[in-house]
Amino acid sequence: MRDKDCIFCKISAGEIPSNTIYEDEEFRVILDLAPASKGHALIIPKEHAADIYEIEEELAGRAMKLAKRMAVHMTEVLGCEGFNILQNNHEVAGQTVFHFHMHLIPRYRNAKNEDILVWNHETFSPEEMEQIRDALKQD
């Protein structure tokens, strides 16, 4: 399914040019227009789903398998020293394009953005942690 107003539908279909580094029947992988690091790329499924809640489970699995392959390939080519795989859902979590995508972010020591993804820790009491655990626990 396509969303006619969605920029990533248009990019993944090749209707808007992109710096594509991989393409198959289901996915296009492009360089991010505003990269956090050298080689920052996005895995975009061609099928429109807004986010992790909407995407079909099997397709999400195949996206992760592709992320694994891309991470190995990109690390070999770029010589990066680490790698983040990131996926944002909803505005509060930093999502700005509402078509599911995975960020592939090569990491380099002493890079401009060395501290991306560093967050302040929150504190919860042992009782609160037990409540959270019990609420989330699944059989």
Would you please indicate which residues are annotated as catalytic (active-site) residues? 101
Residue choice 5, 65, 96, 138 for contact with ligand AMP (CB under 6 A): 96
Residue choice 30, 41, 80, 105 for contact with ligand AMP (CB under 6 A): 30
Least distance (Å) between residue 110 CB and ligand AMP: 22
Q: Which two tokens stand for residue 82?
A: 């680490």
Concatenate the DSSP letters of all residues of 75-114 into one string: HHHH--SEEEEE---SGGGT--S-S--EEEEEE-TT-TTT
Least distance (Å) between residue 30 CB and ligand AMP: 6
Nearer to ligand AMP, 75 or 89 (CB): 89
CA 70/CA 41 separation, integer angstroms: 9
Q: Which two tokens stand for residue 36?
A: 């956090």
Nearer to ligand AMP, 11 or 43 (CB): 11
Q: Which residues make beta-bridge pairs with 29? A: 22, 43
**First-to-last C-alpha distance (Å) of the chain:** 34
**Where along the sequence are the contacts to ligand AMP (CB under 6 A)?**
7, 11, 18, 30, 32-34, 42, 88, 94-97
**Where along the sequence are the contacts to Zn ion (CB under 5 A)?**
3, 6, 8-9, 48, 99
